């Protein structure tokens, strides 16, 4: 069985954390990091554009924080899973 990899969007205001998560996740064939965002505002736009399966969201960020971004992300059908 060759299931297609899980498409991920990483949201964190710290570039080192995004980089670490990306490096780590990219060693796994079952995940594909399709995008990154450094704040809630970008996360909302990228979620709409990339339609990821899973969003890894940092809740505490300056500006639009994770909780607010989650509220603004329009869930497509089917909705992506969010792991905060």
Partner 1 sequence: MATPAGPTPAASVADAPASAALRAVTDVVLALAGEPGLEPVLERLVHAVRELVGARYAALGIPDEEGTGFDRFITSGMTDEQIEAIGPLPRTHGLLAAMLTDPEPYRTDDIRADPRFEWWPEAHPRMRSFLGVPLLFKGDIVGAFYLTDKEGGFHEADVELVRGLAAHAAVVIENARLFEASRERSIAEERSRLARDLHDALTQCLFSLNLTLEAAAAAAAGPDPAPTLEAIHQARALVDAALAELRTLIFELRPPALESDGLVGALRKHAELLSRAHAVPVTVSDARPPGAPGPEAERELWRVAQEALANALRHARASEVTVTVEADGPDGGTLLTVADDGVGFDPEARSIAARRLGLVSMRERIEAAGGTFEVLSTPGRGTTVRASVP
Minimal distance, residue 57 CB to partner 1, in Å: 14
Q: Please give the C-alpha separations between residue 64 and each of 28, 39, 67, 72, 80, in angstroms, as whole numbers.
A: 30, 7, 8, 10, 20
Minimal distance, residue 79 CB to partner 1, in Å: 25
CA dihedral 7, 13, 17, 18 (to 10 degrees): 30
- Which residues contact partner 1 (rule: CB under 8 A)? 13-14, 16-17, 19-21, 23-24, 26-28, 38-39, 41, 60-63, 65
For the chain, give me the number of helices (H) and strands (E)?
3, 4
User: Closer to partner 1 at the Cβ: 4 or 27?
Assistant: 27
User: Closer to partner 1 at the Cβ: 39 or 46?
Assistant: 39
């Amino acid at each position: 069985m060759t299931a297609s990899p899980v498409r991920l969007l990483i949201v964190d205001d710290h570039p080192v954390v995004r980089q670490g998560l990306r490096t780590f996740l990219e060693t796994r064939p079952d995940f594909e990091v399709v995008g990154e965002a450094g704040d809630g505002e970008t996360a909302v736009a990228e979620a709409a554009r990339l339609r990821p399966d899973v969003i890894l969201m940092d809740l505490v960020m300056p500006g639009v924080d994770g909780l607010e971004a989650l509220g603004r992300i329009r869930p497509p059908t089917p909705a992506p899973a969010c792991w905060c």
